[in-house]
Amino acid sequence: MHPAYSVIFFTTASGAGYGLLVLLGIGAPLKLLPTDRWFGLSGLVLALGLITFGLLASTYHLGHPERAWRAMSQWRSSWLSREGVAALATYVPAGLFFIGWVFLDRTDGFWGLMGVLSAVGGFVTVWCTGKIYATLKAIPRWNNGWTVPIYQLLSLASGALLASLLAALFGGAGLTWPLGIALIAGFASWASKAAYWSYIDKQQPRATIESATGLGRFGQVSLIEPPHTEPNYLQKEMGFQVARKHSLKLRRLAHLVGFAVPLALAIVAVYAVPALALLAAAAAMAAGLLVERWLFFAEARHTQSLYYGEKAV
Amino acid sequence: MTSLPKTPPAKRLGLVIDLDTCVGCHACAVNCKEWNTGGYPAPLSDPDPYGAAPEGVWLNRIHGFEATPESGDGRTVHFPKSCLHCQDAPCVTVCPTGASYKREEDGIVLVREDLCIGCKLCSWACPYGAREYDGMTGVMKKCTLCIDRIYNDNLDEVDRVPACVSTCPASARHFGDFNDPDSNVSRLTAEREGMDLMPELGCQPTNKYLPPRPRRTESATAELPTAEGGFLGWVDKLLSR
């Protein structure tokens, strides 16, 4: 699948933003994070900024961005529509949570409840994002049980790392809880991603060129003549080849920069120089997750490429 | 509404494509493009049509496959492919705007272009590669089963079939209602064991493909006339001297 930059930035940036929102929405009412209003201001601006940047980026790959509002209408059947509804709905409790925390200096009672509701909204939105990919039967490398939990865990890991960084920058009070979550979610997502890669490498083909053409009864099938001389939309969008060539190197890079380095730095932060270590950890994870997300798209193969010469998908 | 029709459509219009008789002339693709670039999904854009790398939107494309058995001769098969108007169409249910829908009256899958935001998700959801995005108009294009021909009272009745069907010189494409057991498409499917493409994906495509018939072998082994006896024998003898 063609890795559109807008979708890569959207899923990584808003994933981290929603993860941070989940941490803030639960951590502040339960006093697991600093509750002073300046912490609230910087945390929520960062979370909502990443979310909004991501959502705006996602509209750049649309043919008609001015019609994007229409995507709210089909939540009964479409996970993309549900994602849009959940994303917009989350702004309501998140906005009230912001008002309560920053302007009124309160994270208890009603205002705390708004925090919890924004956390739920963030979780549900990322769930829907994962579901968009996980429900596409034509793309077996997405249509499996790993896609949704990995989206969720990576969102939580990157959001918790940002929450830890903020807590460290604000003097280190309330650092334990977000850092603990960052480490747990970080290791869990690393293990899941490693398991996912080994799973897709061993995955049995779902369809073959024989079943796609129905010609298997006559023997082994191969494409001898494409329908046209130039690559078409389908081949450019769904027959992306670049990453497959380098996928092993890129996976190693994602392991190193997206998981090993940031998690090692997060452990360093437990003992010394937390702000500096977590800043480096967040930067590394951001770079690593861009590689991971790029691979997620580029390594995925689509059954329609069976009509363009691929033997099995 | 991008939910699929709750009750199965009364009619189930679609195509039967005969892989035995298709000669691979691309006339169906050309007539499809000609009709539809001025019809319901107009235009089917061609950025740079006369340049070094012409490409564009086509709703019907003809692939060429070869099947090679372990022993004996292989088979070359021309393979036209257009939207299969699936009964369980994943391209419909993923649409976030309601642009993509399946008609309740005849099961045709269509795009309302004025609602389409060009997110391309439907083309990702289609296992068959039947939908093509038009970068110049920013919306998704697909086969309409020539909705503007088959119900068009301004055309002679004989022309009220999809453009690809009307133009096929080998009669390899047939149009009809699969819900009617006596229709041409139902009979052809039953007689010739019409098959679904990629049935394992579970989309229940409406269009059926007729597999190539088993090859005749007697012509290769039949006795050729020999020049023994009779007039030919006499000529043979005479000329062999």
The alpha-carbon gap from B150 to the nearest alpha carbon of chain A, in Å, equals: 26
Q: What is the mean pLDDT of chain A?
A: 95
DSSP symbol at B9: P
Report the residue from B92, B124, B198 with minimal CB separation from A136.
B124
Rounded CA separation B108/A36 (Å) = 59
How many Å lie between the alpha carbon of A279 and the closest alpha carbon of chain B? 35
Q: What is the distance between the alpha carbons of residues A261 and B54, in angstroms, rounded to a whole number? A: 47
Phi, psi of A63 (to 5 degrees): -75, -30
Q: Do B124 and A221 touch (CB under 8 A)?
A: no
* Distance, C-alpha A303 to centroid of its chain: 24
Helices A109-134, A79-98: axis angle to 10 degrees equals: 160
B75 and A70 within 8 Å at the Cβ level: the answer is: no
Lowest mean pLDDT among B66-80, B151-165, B175-189: B66-80
pLDDT at B234: 87
Q: Which residues of B touch A87 (CB under 8 A)?
A: none
- pLDDT value of residue B236: 84
pLDDT of residue A180: 97
Strand (E) positions, chain B? Answer: 13-18, 60-68, 75-82, 100-102, 109-111, 132-134, 139-141, 173-177, 208-210
Give the list of residues 6+ apart from residue B17 with CB closer than 8 angstroms, or none.
B80, B172, B173, B174, B207, B208, B209, B210
CB neighbour burial string for A132-143, b if at least 16 within 10 angstroms, e if fewer: bbbbbbbbbbbe
For A227-261, how does the pLDDT look when each residue is reduced to its tens digit (9 = 90+)? 998 899 999 888 777 767 788 999 999 999 999 99
Strand pairing partners for B63? B79
Q: Which of B119, B139, B142, B197 to mutate to test the interface with A (most CBs of A within 10 A)?
A: B119
Q: Which of B53, B90, B198 sits opposite A207 (nearest CB)?
A: B198
Shortest distance between the Cα of A242 and any Cα of chain B, in A, equals 19
Residue A141 has pLDDT above 90, yes or no: yes
Is the pLDDT confidence value at B63 over 80? yes
Spatial contact of B96 and B117, defined as CB atoms under 8 Å apart: yes
Look at residue B222 and tell me whether its pLDDT is greater than 70: no
Q: By percentage, how much of chain B surpasses pLDDT 90?
A: 81
Which residues, in sequence order, are CB contacts of B71 under 8 Å at separation 6+?
none
pLDDT for the residue B9: 86
Among B64, B67, B117, beta carbon nearest to A68 = B117
Half-sphere exposure at residue B152, Cβ-oriented, CA atoms within 13 angstroms? 17
**What number is the average pLDDT over the span A176-192?**
98
Whole-number pLDDT of residue A242 = 73
At residue B108, does pLDDT exceed 70? yes
With beta carbons less than 8 A apart as the criterion, state whether A295 and A247 touch: yes
pLDDT for res A39: 96
Strand B13-18 and strand B208-210: pairing? parallel
pLDDT at position A243: 66
ω into residue B169 within 30 of 0, thus cis? Answer: no
pLDDT in tens, B125-164: 999 999 999 999 999 999 999 999 999 999 999 999 999 9
CB contact under 8 A, A232 and B62: no
Partner-chain contact A303 B121, CB within 8 Å: no
What are the strands, taking DSSP E only, across A140-267? 220-225
Position B216 scores a pLDDT of 73
Give how far A20 is from chain B: nearest CA, Å: 27
Do β-strands B139-141 and B132-134 pair in parallel, antiparallel, or remain unpaired? antiparallel
Q: Do B1 and A70 touch (CB under 8 A)?
A: no
- Chain B positions touching A223 (Cβ under 8 A) are 63-66
pLDDT of A165 higher than 90: yes
Percent of chain A with pLDDT over 90: 90
Q: Which of B55, B95, B196 lies closest to A232 in CB terms?
A: B55
Q: How far apart are CA B207 and CA B213, in angstroms?
A: 19
Q: Which of A62, A74, A226 sits opposite B95 (nearest CB)?
A: A74
Among the partner-chain residues A70, A139, A212, the one whose CB lies closest to the CB of B198 is: A212
Cβ-defined contact of B200 to A206 (cutoff 8 Å): yes
User: Tokens 């437990």 label which residue?
Assistant: A270
B97 vs A61, A71, A211: nearest CB: A71
pLDDT tens digits, residue range A30-44? 999 999 999 999 999
pTM: 0.92
Region A112-135: what's the mean pLDDT? 98
Specify the amino acid at residue A81: S
**Contacting residues of A for B132, CB less than 8 Å apart:** 232-234
Tell whether the model's pLDDT for residue A264 goes beyond 80.
yes
From the CA of B32, how many Å to the nearest CA of chain A?
14
Query: Per mean pLDDT, which range of A268-277, A284-293, B67-76 is the poorest?
Result: B67-76
**pLDDT exceeds cutoff 70 at B61:** yes
Chain B: closest CA distance from residue A217 (Å): 9
Query: What pLDDT score does B240 carry?
Result: 86
Distance CA A57, CA A70 (A): 17
* pLDDT value, residue B219: 59
What is the distance in angstroms between the Cα of B28 and the nearest Cα belonging to chain A? Answer: 12
Counting one residue from A and one from B, how many pairs have CB atoms under 8 Å apart?
214
Where do the DSSP E strands lie in A120-180? none
